[in-house]
Copies of this chain bind each other. A is one copy, B any other.
């Protein structure tokens, strides 16, 4: 196995692999299809991250895990949040193993500790080793220990940008449930256009404009996601946002083929 191969980092959004608004409901057809698309892309080196969707989020919210440890009663909520993520992760891994992809779960909370919600300590020994042997490490948004807060939630997006930067990713593909970034909210403005390519500078301008006019939320929750991913873009790593609800788009993005979506580049 060539250790100089740069990995492709793939993030599967929680909104794609679970059924939104239905607690603990995986979207198994989507998980199976995405496993196939990744298998068929036959990449040399992949790191996979997935979100929590309707598994992690409802439990984490109930026990206010993201805000940190305040009362002993939250402890069982931390356990339950982690278990919810383990349940979803197991479904994902099982689907990928059925495609004969050598995926290995790497529990983020076992090797990452945050400080004030930001990744502070990250032991990547296992991930490095897995990549060297040709495995696909699979991480996920997780309830993690935090040096300041006791514990908190580490988003899959922060983790994705960190992994892309640490392993100098060839590129990073973010599979979401919308076509990409739009010039305006397409549900409100029929003239809103999909942005096919955007530079870091242009993106900052777009994010600022959203900030100034908060009512125009062109990104529909995409803003936080994009902000988390910016550090990777700054390091020169290209990010492809694609709608993974549409069959074949993830595959095309992985192969570098022309695909509907938004490409974010540094230059």
Residues of chain A at the chain B interface (Cβ within 8 Å): 69, 72, 75-76, 78-80, 82-83, 86-87, 90, 93-94, 97, 100, 102-111, 113, 121, 123, 125-126, 129-130, 133-135, 145, 147, 150-151
Q: Contacts A102-B79, A110-B111, A133-B75 given: A90-B90 contact, CB under 8 Å?
A: yes
Leading 4 A-B pairs by shortest Cβ distance: A75-B102, A110-B110, A107-B107, A123-B123
A103 to B133, CA, bound (A): 32
Contact of B87 with A102 in the complex, beta carbons under 8 Å: no
Q: List the B side residues contacting A133 at CB < 8 Å.
A: 69, 75, 145, 150-151
Contact of B111 with A123 in the complex, beta carbons under 8 Å: yes
Q: List the B side residues contacting A80 at CB < 8 Å.
A: 97
A135 to B135, CA, bound (A): 31
Nearest Cβ in chain B — how far from A113, in angstroms?
Answer: 5
A137 nearest in chain B by CB position: B110
Q: How many monomers of this chain does the complex have?
A: 2
Q: Contacts A76-B97, A76-B102, A133-B69 given: A111-B83 contact, CB under 8 Å?
A: no
A151 to B29, CA, bound (A): 32
Report which of B94, B103, B130, B145 forms a contact with A145, defined as CB distance below 8 A: B130
Report which of B78, B93, B123, B150 forms a contact with A125, defined as CB distance below 8 A: B123
Contact of B82 with A105 in the complex, beta carbons under 8 Å: yes
Nearest Cβ in chain B — how far from A56, in angstroms?
Answer: 14
Contact of A126 with B145 in the complex, beta carbons under 8 Å: yes
A138 nearest in chain B by CB position: B79
Q: List the B side residues contacting A86 at CB < 8 Å.
A: 86, 90, 93, 105
Known interface pairs A79-B93, A105-B107, A106-B110; 11 further A-B residue pairs with C-beta atoms within 8 A, sorted by A's residue number: A75-B134, A78-B104, A79-B104, A80-B97, A86-B86, A110-B111, A111-B123, A123-B123, A125-B145, A129-B145, A133-B151
Q: List the B side residues contacting A72 at CB < 8 Å.
A: 134
A97 to B77, CA, bound (A): 10
A105 to B125, CA, bound (A): 19
